[in-house]
Amino acid sequence: MKIENKFPTKDISEEDLKTKFPLVAKKNPTHQSKFEVAGVEFGGNLIPIFAGPNMVESRDLIFDVAINVKKNGAHFLRGGAFKPLTFPYRSEKYTETREEGIKWLNEVKKEIKIPIITEIMEEKFIPLISEVTDIIQIGSRNMQNYPFLTACAKTGKPIMLKRHYGASLRDWLGAAEYILYEGNKKVILCERGVSVPHTHRSTSRFLLDLQVIPAAKEVTHLPIVVDPSHATFWRPWVESMSLAGIASGADGVMLEVHPDPKNSAVDPLQPIDFKEFGELVKKMDRVAKASFNRKVIK
């Protein structure tokens, strides 16, 4: 069938739903994807929480975080061993732990019994990382790397696709369609902040696009997670944006948590500590119950 782009637009048309991303599009108003990853349900009553450091800095750090976030209610441990750092220069502290970091994630997963989400950046590392991770994270910078999306999709692993900070909802759903097109149905979207002229603080880089949650829910059945840590880049704002994310209908929350935020090897302004995380989980649970009769605590 020849498809013509009759009405190209940055917003989503009826034609797009039928011809550009039919697999991502809702088939009826109540259509919502529900699936389990490591025994945790997505798209249902529970709102899963992913928590952990920005980077898998060391074996000790990842064990400490895993124990503490699990105890405080996280469903998944997050953390990058392979990191898309904005600039190529690395101090010793800033250096990715790469294959070694993946080995620590595997150890922590088995010993502490917490499932893992971690980013893959290059196709050559797909076999190594997909062996260990429960969810493949595709970072915002790779959102439109289509051959890479296809290669990740082919593993059959659940995939979380972060929105690029300059992408429209239409572009984001188009990218998700590449994954579903390979027969991989376990796709989670993640809103992590967009680039705008004003972010209300010189240290803020992005603005959390809460409006994209109800907008996405009008057109797609895929679950959508919010990441207030990367969006705000500012620890004092993480709590309010997490609660607002849940009140906006988010199906999950990704949070950076570090035992000593100021000394995080990467992005030290954004992680919250264990105590703040524990309190936030309880508050998110209350907002989830009050707004959608859902829950954060299993």
Contacts with ligand PEP by CB under 6 A lie at 54, 80, 84, 139-141, 162, 192, 230
53: number of CA atoms within 13 Å, CB side? 33
Q: Select the span of 33-41, 51-59, 86-94, 102-110 touching Mn ion (CB under 5 A).
A: 51-59
In a 13 Å sphere around the CA of 244, the CA atoms on its Cβ side amount to: 15
Nearer to Mn ion, 54 or 97 (CB): 54
192 binding partner (options ligand PEP, Mn ion, none; Cβ < 5 to 8 Å by kind):
ligand PEP
Residue closest to ligand PEP when measured from CB atoms: 139
Q: Which does 68 bind (CB under 5 to 8 A by kind): ligand PEP, Mn ion, none?
A: none
CB of 211 to ligand PEP, least distance (A): 18
Candidate ranges 7-15, 49-57, 145-153, 274-282; the one touching Mn ion (CB under 5 A):
49-57
Q: Residue 75 or residue 294: which is nearer to ligand PEP going by CB?
A: 75
Q: Which of residues 54-113 bind Mn ion (CB under 5 A)?
A: 54
Number of chain residues interacting with Mn ion (CB under 5 A): 1
Residue count (the chain): 298
Q: CA-CA-CA-CA torsion for 61, 37, 247, 233, nearest 10 degrees? A: 30
252-256 and 76-78 beta bridge pairing: unpaired
Which CA distances in Å does 293 have to 169, 179, 274? Answer: 27, 31, 26
Distance CA 157, CA 119 (A): 13
Question: Which residues lie below 8 Å from residue 225, measured CB to CB, with a gap of 6+?
Answer: 50, 160, 188, 189, 190, 191, 250, 251, 252, 253, 254
Tokens of 219: 């057109």
Cβ of residue 271: shortest distance to Mn ion, in angstroms?
9
Per CB under 5 A, 242 contacts Mn ion: no
- Residue 91 Cβ, how far from Mn ion at the closest point, in Å? 16
CA pair distance 157, 152, nearest whole angstrom: 8
Choose the one of ligand PEP, Mn ion, none that binds residue 140, judging by a C-beta under 5 to 8 angstroms depending on kind: ligand PEP
| Residue listed under structure tokens 């970072």 | 139
CA distances from 127 to 84, 120, 152, 156 (A): 19, 10, 9, 12
Closest to Mn ion by CB, 33 or 54: 54
Shortest Å, Cβ 127 to Mn ion: 24
Residue with Cβ nearer Mn ion (114 or 254): 254
Rounded Cα distance, 106 and 145, in Å: 27
Structure tokens at 284: 């998110």
Among ligand PEP, Mn ion, none, residue 162 binds (CB under 5-8 Å by kind) = ligand PEP
Residue 157 or 230: the one with the smaller Cβ distance to ligand PEP is 230
Pick between residue 20 and residue 141 the one whose CB is nearest to ligand PEP. Answer: 141
Q: How far is the CB of 286 from ligand PEP (least distance, A)?
A: 26
Q: How far is the CB of 107 from ligand PEP (least distance, A)?
A: 20
Least distance to Mn ion, CB of residue 84, Å = 8
Q: At what angle do helices 59-71 and 274-292 cross, to 10 degrees?
A: 40
For residues 177 and 256, which CB has a smaller minimum distance to Mn ion in the complex? Answer: 256
Q: Which chain residues interact with Mn ion by CB under 5 A?
A: 54
